Amino acid sequence: MKRSHNLTILLVDDDADLLQYWSATLGQAYQRVLTAMHAYEGLEVLHREKPDMILADASLPEMDGFALCQEIKRHPAFFETPVVLYKSGYLTLEDKQTAARCGADHILSKPASVKEVARLLQEVHSETRLRQVVRQGELTTLEAPLPDDDYADFLTRRLGQTIAQLKREQQSLNLALNRFKDFANCVGHFFWETDADGVLRFLSAGTGNPLALPTFGFENAPFDAFFEPYFDSEGLQAVREDIRAERVVDRYLRQQGGEALRVVHVIGQPFCSREGQVNGYRGTLVDVTDVRAHSERLFFEAHHDALTGLYNARAFRSLLGEELYKLGADEQHVLCYIDLDYFKAVNDSAGHRAGDALLARIGELFRKQVRSNDILGRLGGDEFAILLRHCSMDQARRLVQQLHNTVSTFRFQWEGRSHEIGLSIGLLEVRRSELTAQEVLDLADQACYAAKRAGRNQIQVYGDEAGAGGQLSGDALWLEKFHRAVNRNGLCLFRQPICRADRPARPVAWEVLVRLRDGDRLVAPKYFLSIIDRYQLFAILDRWVVNRTLDWLERDERSALGGFYSINLSSQSLCDADFRRHVRERLRDNPAVGQRLCFEVTESSAIQNLANAIEFIADMRSLGCRFALDDFGTGFSSLAHLRNLPVDFVKLDGLFVKGVTSDPVDLGLVQSVQEIAGLMGIRTIAEYVENDETALKLREIGIDYLQGFHVGHPEMMDLLPDRSPLGNALS
């Protein structure tokens, strides 16, 4: 940026980085750039340095930019000093009115580049100088007369200076005017201006006048009255109401007449007087018909299957989720999951082109059969889905049976050959529940699979095999229970003590366990963990357990006495960056809690996700957390992997622990693990210690810590008293 202005600029902003950057860049264009970080400092610099222009943030602390401008304009010495304000975000009418009332020469949204700032300052300065020159010329005529000869020379000289200055300022203003005209022609097809009552004062067409609107005969005509023959009355009435209410105009009008409907975007913003009163509106009209058509086409392509024109899998799943969310307590839908039978035979025998043509024809058949308020989609391959909205199961059976009959009688003709198609259909009754859209689809898919397994070309209602008549059962029942438990505090935490092998009576740590409340009973994990694993919900469960445990530890007054809590993590959470970020945020402000936390990962999940496991362990250890390798001994080459995993503990799998007193192989394996772990400085924990004989043998081997019913049974954490004795922390 070349230095071209012999001016001093005062920049006022509380953002130190912005001050440094803008002042350095503007310094290349202006002689001096002064800075101040708040309004009071700005006033001090103003009185001391007397800058030519002031650029200030409108959102300054203590005294904002509006108040600063008002204070400057009150002072006679600085009344004519230009003040430009800027504000982050969208400028409202109130912002413009406040700026006008306080005497600001201009207000703008915070520009994206310093070049925009420099250009604006140049234009504001030119306008100010022009006013000063004109005013100075007027004052000259009022001065006391000089002697005749001197007065003539003085007047001639002053007149020449004034004319030259006016020409320079006029050239600058013409340049700015032409520039903005060119910019406007790039973004608008028609330009308009009204007074405060909405009466037109100016009309101008863009290049070529593509809207074919008149630019004459508008004098004293209201905006809506003048354009009534060209645009729809409803849209014009909305524009009139916006102007009356002094709102920003942002409407779409339908252009009347012509061969095809055109859509025109009308935009208008109010402009204000020095006193902050709305003087009128300026705006544009832009033909957006082609742009909207292109946007709608892109939207359609993003949400519809290219082959059949039906909703694609992502769009169908999204719409299904919306319908589940809106479902009332006494309402229900039925979801149909459809798989084409014998489609592969057509693809293999007649080719993929025939397969594509068949899918397109099937899509047409489905579209003709479904009701207008139903949602139809292709999920991929030869799989389709229909959401029968507000439909009973009996009604759904009739509708789907009709669809099934239509396809059964349909014969696909291709190159002289006829192909028969069948449908395997799974039905699921959908009521208000905690299930996600994907889980509902998975359950309907199970019913469809049951129809295929039963011989294909059949209709199967989910749960019929169990005699549930379509009600939630099996997986669906446990999914519903799990989501309800997570969302409505239906899970609870237990802790099982871990003790030193040489002092089994006093716990030094606990493993956190989770139970699910089902009415009056507590359900152990073995009954619902398989469902959570199948539907990949471990990340939800892990986050709930971690949050509840941290909540419990943060309010636990016994933190200073030591002892930590060990939480099991799944492979999903181990690889989930969001989960790791969440735990870091919880622990960052409370390091004492982090030191009381241990994460357990199974040997198999750690080895299968070795890079993620190492990264996760390193990240959490930096916050004071410890790690245990669970179920150790069940994996392949277990001992070799200890070199790669920086863990604090290994927990021997209970299968080997139970056999140490009776099976020499189990005994040898436990002894080997203890010896290798001891050499590496890793402590050992034996699970499933159920009797004194096993505990004695483990102490002889040198196992560090014991866990099991012989040591202590799990206890519900929410029912624990406020204080209980603790042993020393693991060391």
> What value does the CA radius of gyration of the chain take, rounded to a whole number of Å?
39
Q: What is the CATH number of the domain that holds 88?
A: 3.40.50.2300
518 in any annotated domain:
yes
pLDDT above 60 (res 484) = yes
Buried b (16+ CB within 10 A) or exposed e, 277-288: ebbbbbbbbbbb
Instruction: State the chain's mean pLDDT as an integer.
Output: 82
Buried b (16+ CB within 10 A) or exposed e, 347-384: beebeeebbebbbeebbeebeebbeeebbbbbbeebbb
433 in any annotated domain:
yes
The answer to which of 101-115, 210-224, 688-702 has the lowest mean pLDDT is 101-115
Q: What is the model's pLDDT at position 5?
A: 62
Q: What is the model's pLDDT at position 313?
A: 93
For residue range 441-455, list pLDDT tens digits in order: 988 998 898 888 877
Q: What is the model's pLDDT at position 177?
A: 59
Mean of pLDDT values over 395-407: 87
Mean of pLDDT values over 672-688: 89
Mean of pLDDT values over 210-233: 87
Give the whole-angstrom CA distance, residue 287 versus residue 402: 47
For residue range 351-400, list pLDDT tens digits in order: 888 989 999 999 999 998 898 899 999 998 899 999 999 999 889 988 98
For residue range 531-565, list pLDDT tens digits in order: 787 777 888 889 999 999 998 888 765 544 458 89
Q: What is the model's pLDDT at position 728?
A: 41
End position of a domain, from candidates 464, 484, 504: 484
For residue range 494-513, list pLDDT tens digits in order: 999 999 998 877 888 999 99
**428 shares its domain with 530:** no
177 in any annotated domain:
no
- 66 or 344: whose pLDDT is higher? 66
Structural domain range at position 383: 304-484
325 in any annotated domain:
yes
- Return the closest-CA partner of residue 420 out of 339, 341, 355: 341
**646 shares its domain with 691:** yes
- Return the closest-CA partner of residue 190 out of 231, 233, 232: 231
End position of a domain, from candidates 274, 293, 312: 293
**661 shares its domain with 557:** yes
Mean of pLDDT values over 154-181: 66
Mean of pLDDT values over 413-425: 86
Q: What is the model's pLDDT at position 94?
A: 83
pLDDT tier, 221 (very low <50, low <70, confident <90, very high otherwise): very high
425 in any annotated domain:
yes
Residue type at position 695: A
**427 shares its domain with 408:** yes
Angle between helices 289-303 and 313-326 (to 10 degrees): 90
Q: What is the CATH number of the domain that holds 466?
A: 3.30.70.270
729 in any annotated domain:
no
**70 shares its domain with 114:** yes
- Return the closest-CA partner of residue 549 out of 485, 593, 487: 593
Mean of pLDDT values over 520-529: 78
180 in any annotated domain:
no
Q: What is the model's pLDDT at position 653?
A: 82
Mean of pLDDT values over 105-126: 75
**39 shares its domain with 99:** yes
Q: What is the model's pLDDT at position 545?
A: 92
**476 shares its domain with 569:** no
| C-beta of residue 621 within 8 angstroms of C-beta of residue 641 | no
Task: Collect contacts of 613-619 with beta carbons under 8 A, ≥24 apart.
Answer: 613/574, 613/645, 614/644, 614/645, 614/646, 616/574, 616/580, 617/645, 617/646, 617/647, 618/646, 619/580, 619/584
- 673 or 125: whose pLDDT is higher? 673
**610 shares its domain with 709:** yes
End position of a domain, from candidates 484, 507, 540: 484
pLDDT tier, 469 (very low <50, low <70, confident <90, very high otherwise): very low
Q: Which residue has the tokens 């006022």?
A: 12
- Most confident option among 158-167, 313-322, 595-604, 709-718: 313-322
Q: What is the CATH number of the domain that holds 258?
A: 3.30.450.20
**285 shares its domain with 349:** no
Number of independent structural domains in the chain: 4
| C-beta of residue 485 within 8 angstroms of C-beta of residue 493 | no
- 697 or 726: whose pLDDT is higher? 697
Give the percent of the chain with pLDDT over 90: 25
310 in any annotated domain:
yes
pLDDT above 60 (res 209) = yes
Give the percent of the chain with pLDDT over 70: 84
Q: What is the model's pLDDT at position 206?
A: 67
For residue range 12-43, list pLDDT tens digits in order: 999 888 888 888 888 887 888 999 999 999 99
**120 shares its domain with 196:** no
Q: What is the model's pLDDT at position 275?
A: 73
Q: What is the model's pLDDT at position 107?
A: 86
Mean of pLDDT values over 453-463: 81
**329 shares its domain with 278:** no
Buried b (16+ CB within 10 A) or exposed e, 530-547: ebbeebebbbbbbbbbbe
pLDDT above 60 (res 695) = yes
For residue range 237-255, list pLDDT tens digits in order: 999 999 998 888 999 998 8
Q: What is the model's pLDDT at position 64?
A: 92
**685 shares its domain with 536:** yes
- 631 or 268: whose pLDDT is higher? 268
pLDDT above 90 (res 468) = no
| C-beta of residue 328 within 8 angstroms of C-beta of residue 406 | no
Mean of pLDDT values over 572-589: 87
